[in-house]
Amino acid sequence: MGAAHGSDHGSFEHGHMDITSHKSMFDGFLKVTEWSCVTFAMLLGLIVFAFAMGLGWWTGLIVWVVIGALAGFLMGLGGAWWATLIGSTVLLAVGGAVTMAIQAIT
C-alpha cells in the first residue's frame, strides 16, 4: 500500500512547473498589501492631526495628501494610485466643506 502511493509521479521534473499564475497572484497580493498599508497610514495621519491633535480638518487633509504623494513617489505606485488619491482627496474636501457649512448654519 505504501509503495503504490509514492510510485506514480508521472512526468514531473523539479523546477519545470509553470508558475506564472502563482506569480501574478502573489504580485496582486503585494499590491493590495501596499495600498492597504499606505491608506491606513494616510487615514491614521488624518485622524491624528484633525481630531487627536485638534489642528482641524484641513490640516489633517494636507497630511493625507502628503503621505499619499510621498508613498506614490517613493514606492512607484502607478496611475491608479494617483487617481485614487485625487478622488479621495476631493471627496474628503467636499465632506469637510459641507460639514463646516452645516455647522455655520446652525
Reported as a single tens digit per residue, the pLDDT across 21-49 is: 889 999 999 999 999 999 999 999 999 99
In a domain, 17, yes or no: no
Instruction: Tell me how far apart the alpha carbons of residues 99 and 8 are, in angstroms, rounded to a whole number.
Output: 69
Distance of CA 50 to the CA centre of its chain: 21
Task: Kindly report the average pLDDT of the chain as a whole number.
Answer: 88
In a domain, 13, yes or no: no
Please report, in tens digits, the pLDDT of each residue of the chain (106 residues total). Answer: 555 555 556 666 777 778 888 899 999 999 999 999 999 999 999 999 999 998 999 999 999 999 999 999 999 999 999 999 999 999 999 999 999 999 899 8
In a domain, 63, yes or no: yes
pLDDT at 5: 58
In a domain, 14, yes or no: no
The domain of 57 spans: 23-105
Residues 75/38, Cβ–Cβ less than 8 Å: yes
36: left (phi over 0), alpha (psi -120 to 50) or beta: alpha
pLDDT at 38: 95
pLDDT at 6: 58
Instruction: Tell me how far apart the alpha carbons of residues 96 and 101 are, in angstroms, rounded to a whole number.
Output: 9
AA identity, residue 91? L
Number of domains in the chain: 1
Closest CA to 70 of 62, 44, 47, 57: 62
Residue 57's contacts (CB-CB under 8 Å, 6 or more residues apart) are: 50, 96, 99, 100
Q: How much is the pTM?
A: 0.75
